[in-house]
Structure 1
């Protein structure tokens, strides 16, 4: 049996129609939802990770890309788990190919769990020491998943102590219309705050009053209760001129490369 068929067989053996129904609601695969048109077979994520661990070596990049094109949500997520493993173990050439495959298939990375399982582990790590302008292009995309990929990729930079691009894209996406992007920006700002509270608050203080509420709530989630109340009530006193939010971060000198 071909390796890709082995993966599909293993996932099908773990399928649970009742779980699939719940997951379809959770990931809004129902009509009108952001995941409309997708199909779940109800395989738990830990089981998908085990299937990926079992097969990642035998599956070629071409076969993994085919799996990423599947109409089944769990098959696409398992394909991403395989790509992440291959990326972590690969040499520079293979890592570059995996990065290219990921960006060429963002229309198949079409839910928040798919984005969050790949962007911080492939896109961000590849760009650590490279030109990151592709993130600006993704942040300008009309596809919500591209925009979430852009901000979630900065998680890799945050882990390395580099917050510049989280702030850069935070400005660009500050008024994004989609809740999933707003939450992702807030989450990344929270991760900055976990490492450098002063840097996070410096960014927030000039913007928190115009931020979408859900973005702000995510960003300040780990602050102490009194500080959260001050932000949510608008009681933070900003000292000095607030940095202005613009639609083009290149106009902001503190965000330059």
Structure 2
């Protein structure tokens, strides 16, 4: 099971750009090294290699995601996430929550965690709704800020199926956090739900005593 990974690394190395890499690393606060492959090209190259090794990817998405996450450059982490979003949709296993947690707490930054929260954790819990309270309670109680953020954001794509009580409970639980990424997440999650239920969000924000950043973000479009 090395054909896909070897081919992807080869193609990515051929298209690496030191100039782009410097700018991309700076944008991400120098948290990760980059190959310097911009998003559109990276996705095109991934699609090409994915097609060449379609069977391998479809049979081993979880293993490949872990192998990609073991690599240093950030582009490989993006590829891992994109593979899982497509290959695991409506085909999650209950134990995949372990993999999801691993991805959230590994190489953590907003660019990966936000996609994982919305498209992977969110889809996983749609498939296993009975797991929602247990998983979200555990993530929310964690000392890992990125798990907390994921617990706030996982319903971003839920719209009318949003569990308002979970959303508001998570916002209240973390409203005193001094972490920028938590304050921002609260505002973002509320703003998104406000597109579906503006009155409920407005009433909640007026009564919740949120931090100024959270309140401002929540009410931005209301």
| TM class, shorter-length | 0.7 to 0.9
Residue equivalent to 2:40? 46
C-alpha distance in 1, partners of 2:12/2:165?
40
Please give the alpha-carbon distance, in whole angstroms, between the structure 2 residues aligned to 1:118 and 1:51: 21
Q: Residues 63-212 of structure 1 correspond to what in structure 2 (within 5 A)?
A: 63-88=64-89, 91-93=91-93, 96=94, 98-128=96-126, 129-132=129-132, 133-158=134-159, 160-207=161-208, 210-212=209-211
TM-score computed with the length of structure 1 as normaliser: 0.74
Structure 2's unaligned 5+ residue stretches are none
Q: Give the root-mean-square deviation of aligned CA atoms.
A: 2.1
Q: Is the 8 A contact 1:174 1:211 kept in 2?
A: yes
TM superposition shift of 1:98: 4.2
Closer, same or farther: CA 51–83 of 1 in aligned 2, 3 Å? farther
| 1:66/1:144 CA distance change after superposition, 3 Å | same
- Deviation at residue 145 of structure 1 after TM alignment: 1.6
Change beyond 3 A, Cα 1:156–1:97: farther
Mapped to 2, the partners of 1:120 and 1:159 lie a distance apart of: 15
1:17-74 Cα offsets, whole Å, 9 max, x none, are 2222222222112xxxxx3xx2122222233333443417433221221112222111
Cross-structure match for 1:254:
none
- The structure-2 alpha-carbon separation of the partners of 1:199 and 1:109, relative to structure 1 and needing over 3 Å to count, comes to farther
TM score, norm. by length of structure 2: 0.84
Relative to its length, the structure with more helix (as a share) is 2
Residue correspondences, number:
211
Aligned residue for 1:20, secondary structure, equals helix
1:47–1:143 CA distance, 2 compared to 1 (3 A): farther
1:20 aligns to 2:21 (yes or no)? yes
State the distance in 2 between where 1:155 and 1:145 align.
15
Would you say 1:215 and 2:214 are equivalent positions? yes
Is this contact kept in 1: 2:184–2:213, CA < 8 A? yes
- The answer (yes or no) to whether the contact 2:155–2:162 under 8 Å persists in 1 is no
**How far 1:115 sits from its partner (Å)?**
0.9
